[in-house]
């Protein structure tokens, strides 16, 4: 079977869940025994989201090979257990940079460089690249934004061309919204009709339309959409509200989405039967058990997130990883944002009241840092279960140096250029680099775990690989003194001896990681550190 391409577009409004729907399609095809990957093409000019404010764009996700990308790639991995790379994520800025670099090198032979064909050819090449490199059955490509956005037009033109070039090997799945007008007491399909007509005006006919609605959709309404939008009635499907996004693959399978896609891609019955006979049914059953467990977990577990980005998606992978781990502990984890800018020595107890465990969140910049340090001191001294991630681990180290080692000016070189005790400092080999993104330690790095430590017990092994996204490190010249006072470096990079995990063995659970464990946590393989942290919370 040749590789099939599924393009996922959206209309009417943003935030309809294209990323979750693309992930759902991937999950359903995997359940049928197919090899898949998922890509994201974003229309903004930034080369990547690494320098975007999380309060504006949500979290920045990092692939296993160290590429900073959109948070939807986290959904892709959590749903499907695939490992994404830099070839799974593109922005308009990155595409234009590639083309401009070629032009500067003279690779276009003096021709006038234009959106068509040079930009669109670059887009198409990158859309096709993963299938050539990985021998896949399906490549699912999500287009960010909504149909009609001016910056997204080159992507739509590329899809139009590929649909003609690939023929039956390419289909378009369009996600649209059907609003309910309370005053009229009815659902309105006109926004969807306009969205599809706009897509058609760019030369693209959708093959399948998925209607996002909070209300049930009758077959008459679906037939109406099918008639106005030139698709078969059985190719108009409903994406309903669900109690958890992880229920969506089950709902969409019940509505026939995977069957529709296989038929639209002209996959013959013998091919379908061959893949179905070889697929792992336990994989699918495990997913159903997870969703059932999620529905029946009734007891709440309240976890405080001490950070400075008060946006639902700012810590998306952490909240999802914590929630997934909670499901396996028969609990509904409720994540509560605690603004570190508001925490002081006088109100720390009040600000942190009511939670059963805490996460000191990652981030960049000095806003809210002193509040985090104050919180870390309170949590350490009161033996409250605490997990520090990236900057969170660094905060733990700074606080310990100040209040246990006695270095009152201890700080990070990121926030203080005058401190005489830079407990957190930048790596020497990166100090002279020009571009901010180039000074980052990104992607998967090895870590060796200290025998019999909390970290080693949680993982159940001695060596791990975890993903990083940071610029500064725990300064090695302070480690011996910290360990003499009870803070243990329980994870180290075997090549550089840089600290990866610190913990206080005397405390019930007080552990920080320089890496981001949330990037490696999925529905079917929850991260062991989140599971161990919740165990500590429950046992406490």
Distance CA 87, CA 94 (A): 11
Question: Do 206 and 174 meet the contact criterion of CB atoms below 8 Å apart?
Answer: yes
- CA dihedral for 201, 202, 204, 210, sign (positive or negative): negative
Q: Which of 75, 275, 516, 527 is catalytic?
A: 516
Q: Is 487 left (phi over 0), alpha (psi -120 to 50) or beta?
A: beta
**DSSP tally for the chain: helices H, then strands E:** 19, 23
Q: Alpha carbon 170 to chain centroid distance? A: 26
Q: Which of 238, 500, 518, 527 is catalytic?
A: 518
Distance CA 328, CA 331 (A): 7
516 is catalytic: yes
518 is catalytic: yes
- CA dihedral for 469, 449, 523, 333, sign (positive or negative): negative
Residues 6 or more apart whose CB falls under 8 angstroms from that of 50 comprise 60, 68, 437, 440
The string of DSSP letters for 61-112 reads EE-TTS-EE-THHHHHHHHH-----GGGEEEHHHHHHHHHHHHHTTTTTTPP
Q: Which of 60, 69, 361, 390 is catalytic?
A: 390
69 is catalytic: no
The string of DSSP letters for 163-198 reads HHHHGGGEEEEEEEE--EETTTTEE--HHHHHHHHH
Catalytic (active-site) positions: 390, 516, 518
């Amino acid at each position: 079977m040749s590789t099939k391409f599924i393009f996922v577009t959206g209309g009417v409004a943003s935030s309809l869940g294209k990323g979750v729907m693309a992930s759902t399609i991937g999950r359903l095809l995997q359940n049928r025994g197919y090899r898949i990957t998922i890509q994201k093409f974003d229309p903004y000019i930034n080369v990547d989201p690494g320098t975007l404010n999380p309060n504006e764009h949500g979290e920045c996700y990092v692939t296993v090979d160290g590429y900073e990308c959109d948070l939807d790639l986290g959904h892709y991995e959590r749903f499907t257990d695939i490992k994404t790379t830099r070839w799974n994520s593109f922005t308009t800025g990155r595409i234009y940079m590639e083309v401009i670099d070629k032009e500067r090198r003279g690779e276009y032979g003096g021709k006038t460089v234009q959106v068509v064909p040079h930009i669109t050819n670059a887009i198409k090449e990158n859309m096709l690249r993963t299938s050539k490199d990985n021998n896949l059955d399906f490549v699912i490509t999500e287009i960010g934004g909504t149909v009609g956005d001016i910056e997204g037009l080159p992507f739509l033109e590329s899809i139009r061309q590929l649909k003609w070039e690939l023929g039956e090997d390419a289909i378009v799945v369009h996600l649209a919204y059907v609003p309910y007008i309370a005053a009229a007491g009815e659902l309105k399909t006109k926004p969807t009709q306009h969205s599809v007509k706009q897509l058609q005006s760019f030369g693209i006919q959708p093959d399948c339309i998925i209607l996002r609605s909070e209300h049930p959709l009758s077959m008459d309404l679906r037939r109406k959409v099918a008639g106005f939008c030139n698709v078969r009635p059985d190719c108009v499907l409903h994406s309903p509200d669900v109690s958890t996004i992880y229920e969506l693959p089950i709902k969409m399978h019940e509505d026939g989405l995977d069957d529709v896609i296989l038929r639209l891609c002209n996959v013959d019955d013998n091919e379908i039967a061959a893949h179905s006979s070889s697929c792992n049914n336990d994989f699918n059953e495990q997913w159903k058990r997870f969703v059932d467990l999620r529905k029946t977990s009734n007891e709440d577990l309240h976890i405080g997130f001490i950070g400075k980005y008060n946006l639902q998606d700012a810590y998306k992978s952490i909240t999802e990883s914590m929630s997934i781990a909670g499901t396996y502990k028969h609990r509904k984890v409720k994540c509560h944002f605690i603004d570190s800018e508001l925490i002081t020595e006088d109100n720390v107890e009040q600000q942190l009241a009511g939670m059963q465990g805490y996460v000191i969140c990652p981030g960049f910049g000095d806003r809210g840092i002193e509040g985090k340090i104050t919180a870390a001191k309170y949590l350490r001294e009161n033996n409250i279960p605490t997990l520090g991630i990236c900057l969170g681990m660094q905060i733990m180290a700074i606080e310990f140096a100040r209040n246990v080692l006695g270095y009152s000016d201890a700080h990070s070189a990121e926030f203080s250029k005058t401190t005489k005790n830079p407990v957190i400092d930048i790596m020497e080999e990166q100090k002279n680099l020009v571009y901010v993104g180039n000074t980052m330690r990104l992607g998967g790095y090895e870590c060796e775990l200290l025998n019999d430590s909390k970290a080693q017990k949680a993982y159940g092994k001695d060596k791990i690989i975890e993903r990083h996204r940071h610029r500064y490190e725990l300064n090695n010249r302070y480690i011996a003194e910290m360990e003499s006072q009870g803070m243990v470096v329980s994870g180290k990079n075997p090549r550089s001896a840089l600290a990866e995990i610190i913990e206080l063995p005397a405390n019930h659970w007080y552990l920080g990681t320089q890496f981001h464990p949330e990037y490696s946590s999925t529905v079917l393989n929850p991260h062991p550190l989140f599971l161990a942290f919740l165990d500590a919370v429950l046992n406490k």
